[in-house]
Structure 1
Amino acid sequence: MGDIGIDFGGNPVPIVDFGLFLNPPSADMKKTTAGAIVQAFSTVGFVYLVNHGISQDEVDECYDWSKKFFALSVEEKMRCLRVHPPTGPYHRGFSGVSNSGPVVRQAFEMSRDDVPEFPNPWPDESTLPHFKDFCLAFFQTCYKTQLDILHAIALGLGLDEDHFDSYHTQKENQLRFLYYPSVDEQSLRSGDEERLDAHTDIRTLTMLFQDEVGGLEVEDPYNPGVFRSSPPIKGAMIVNIGDLLQRWTNNTLHSPMHRVRAPPLKETTEVDSTGAKVKMTPPRYSIPYFATPNLDVIIDCVPGSWNETRPKKYEPINTQDYIDLTVKSKQKTYNYVK
């Protein structure tokens, strides 16, 4: 602890050694680490975690599978076309580069594989052998780490470590592979082509792996409207709070606004129709995992987040109803990618 991932004018997002929580040398160190995580989440809503329990080899293998999928032919990827029902968290499959707006990306989304109404649309096994097996195994790995992070949050809030466990047993979570192709640098940096517009995440929390290209920006909580670069750090996972956990903690924790903009330029050029050299951004890959409570549980402000002088800001709500209402309210700008 003590290193800085993003510096908001002297108010840093820390890099926290999560190993000191997972394998603490003492009970005090475990509590101190949990407190540092909650402190970051209560101010800027983001934290970098190192020694988080997912090996770099696993993450690198996940990137390899992601690149293999996006390298498939359009025809093969279209066989995994996205299942996108009007309600709920069931977003699965492939979505391509948008033709209707400025966001330029491709995505493959998957979740638990036991929902008959909304199965994960996998590529054919002969086309991409073992892809399905790896994705389901990595999904389970992320779920375990999700629970570890929720244990730290609970302890940092003064709750029992397992406070959030019973709310997250059904694995209504989502693993997403994202690919942002090379884009004309001038258009992207001017805002004509946003890779992902400013938004908050609606679920419990998000765990993000981003490659060395970068491009993620976080709104400075001390200067609204100003976004700071969130640089990639080898071996680190970025974790941010979602709207639901902000509500759940009665605004104790902060769901941050963030976006994806132009990354640093790659040393390469292309020539346009006039013969002029065009600067291009490099392609970017990222892997977010979104944690979501069971759809049938009631979310109410946690003990310790409210009292007579600090009343509850939110009424209890069912997770399914919350997601439906939130998605509807964000209909025009809502996006499931990062």
Structure 2
Amino acid sequence: MNPIKTLDYGHWVSGDDTQRKAFAKSLHDQLVELGFLKLKNYGMSDDYVDHLFNLTEEFFKLPYEDKKKIAYFHGPKLQRGWSSLGSEKSATLDSPENQSHADLHDAKEHFDCGAAEDAAYPNQWPDASAIDGFQHGIEHYFDQCQKIGLNLMEALEMGFDLPPRCLQTRFAEHASQLRLNHYPPIQAAKLKDGSTNRLWPHTDYGILTFLLQDTVGGLEIWDNVNQAGFIPVPTSPRREMIVNAGGTLERLTNDFLKAGLHRVVSPATADDEGMLPGRYSIAFFLHTSRTTSAAPLPSFISADHPSLYEDITTFEFERRRTEKTYKDEAPIANGQEQKEIAV
């Protein structure tokens, strides 16, 4: 039986005390035991989700020159704008320091943005005339996800029996990020030769990730419950939101809760000799304020379980991780053409 349980978000935001307590316990249990869950009834209609995917597809269909205008300057900075096919190296995220993965490729391009009011790291948007309503639609979804994230922090406080608002107060400033992913069509055999993956096994580095995916398939998570290795995440219904724990939450809980390991590969039902269709997903990464400590909270430290992590800011933790994902790539902004992967 698939261990990913679906929680009814409506039980938290509009339920009675019994429903709220049950939701908080289920949220706690799923994240501690598996690192993943699904949410339903989170306030977004099927039509709204379809609209988000339409905007996503329209962006990646833009001409290369239009996307290049808002290309991300690769390096240890926050990602804003478009990252070209294969430029990010997810294989490096959970590997030993200084290990090069120049020959391991990601068959993916993506677009990243932060909060509209984040003056320190301004967003890069395509020309308004290129995609009608793109910026407004993405910013609106960003804000909705931020609200859901803060509500889930309140639920986690209850689930862990933490002091009220000890998690919520860590979000005084908006530092969350949103990513649109496009995995172009690719020969299935290319994902079997060991050099290319749609997304290599890795953990995210925020607090929580909220993911919407299309019905193509290929997303797999590590099954800590049944010790069954990687298992596929069902793709239907598309409107269900997948939630996973990130590295910052792992640190704050001193490893009582582990970040969810996942990857994107060829679906089990795919023909090994055929062509995989393109895949799209939309990921929101909930982050605390950048100056907040990423050291374990006092509630998770004891004589028997001392702190496992150094006291650095969440921004420094994120910066180190971002630097690893681009260390084998040169900046596209310096005039280099997009590095294509044979698909």
Of residues 12, 20, 26, the one that matches 1:21 is 12
Alignment of 1:227-242 (within 5 A): 227-234=230-237, 235-242=239-246
Supply the distance in 1 between the matched residues of 2:182 and 2:325 (Cα, whole angstroms): 23
Counterpart contact for 1:248–1:299, Cα < 8 Å: yes
Q: Any idea what the Cα deviations from partners look like across 1:247-283, whole Å, max 9, x if unmatched? A: 101112111211100135679xxxxxxxxx9511111
Check if 1:202 corresponds to 2:193: no
Supply the distance in 2 between the matched residues of 1:294 and 1:241 (Cα, whole angstroms): 17
Offset at 1:165? 1.8
Supply the distance in 1 between the matched residues of 2:20 and 2:164 (Cα, whole angstroms): 11
SS in 2 for 1:52: coil
Q: Any idea what the Cα deviations from partners look like across 1:38-62, whole Å, max 9, x if unmatched? A: 1011011001111123333222111
Supply the distance in 1 between the matched residues of 2:148 and 2:279 (Cα, whole angstroms): 24
Alignment of 1:276-291 (within 5 A): 279-291=274-286
Offset at 1:85? 4.4
Whichever residue aligns with residue 10 of structure 2, its letter is G
283-292 or 307-316, which moves further after superposition? 307-316
Supply the distance in 2 between the matched residues of 1:222 and 1:40 (Cα, whole angstroms): 10
Supply the distance in 2 between the matched residues of 1:60 and 1:332 (Cα, whole angstroms): 35
Q: Report percent identity of matched pairs.
A: 30
Supply the distance in 1 between the matched residues of 2:269 and 2:276 (Cα, whole angstroms): 5
Offset at 1:160? 4.3
Structure 1 gaps of 5+ residues are 268-276, 334-338
209-218 or 107-116, which moves further after superposition? 107-116
Q: Any idea what the Cα deviations from partners look like across 1:196-215, whole Å, max 9, x if unmatched? A: 11111111111101111111
Partner of 2:265: 261
Partner of 2:132: 129
TM-align CA RMSD: 2.6
Aligned length: 313
Partner of 1:244: 248
Q: Any idea what the Cα deviations from partners look like across 1:167-226, whole Å, max 9, x if unmatched? A: 112211111111111110122244442101111111111110111111111112257792
Residues 61 and 156 from structure 1, CA distance in 2 versus in 1: closer, same or farther, beyond 3 angstroms? same
Check if 1:307 corresponds to 2:302: yes
Structure 1 outlier segments of 4+, above 6 Å:
329-333
Q: Which of structures 1 and 2 has the larger relative contact order (alpha carbons within 8 angstroms, sep 6+)?
A: 2
Check if 1:92 corresponds to 2:87: no
SS in 1 for 2:82: strand
Q: Any idea what the Cα deviations from partners look like across 1:2-50, whole Å, max 9, x if unmatched? A: xx6xx2xxxx2211122111211x2122111111111011011001111
Supply the distance in 2 between the matched residues of 1:97 and 1:330 (Cα, whole angstroms): 13
SS in 2 for 1:108: strand
Whichever residue aligns with residue 312 of structure 2, its letter is I
Residues 30 and 167 from structure 1, CA distance in 2 versus in 1: closer, same or farther, beyond 3 angstroms? same
Supply the distance in 2 between the matched residues of 1:260 and 1:129 (Cα, whole angstroms): 30
Residues 329 and 61 from structure 1, CA distance in 2 versus in 1: closer, same or farther, beyond 3 angstroms? closer
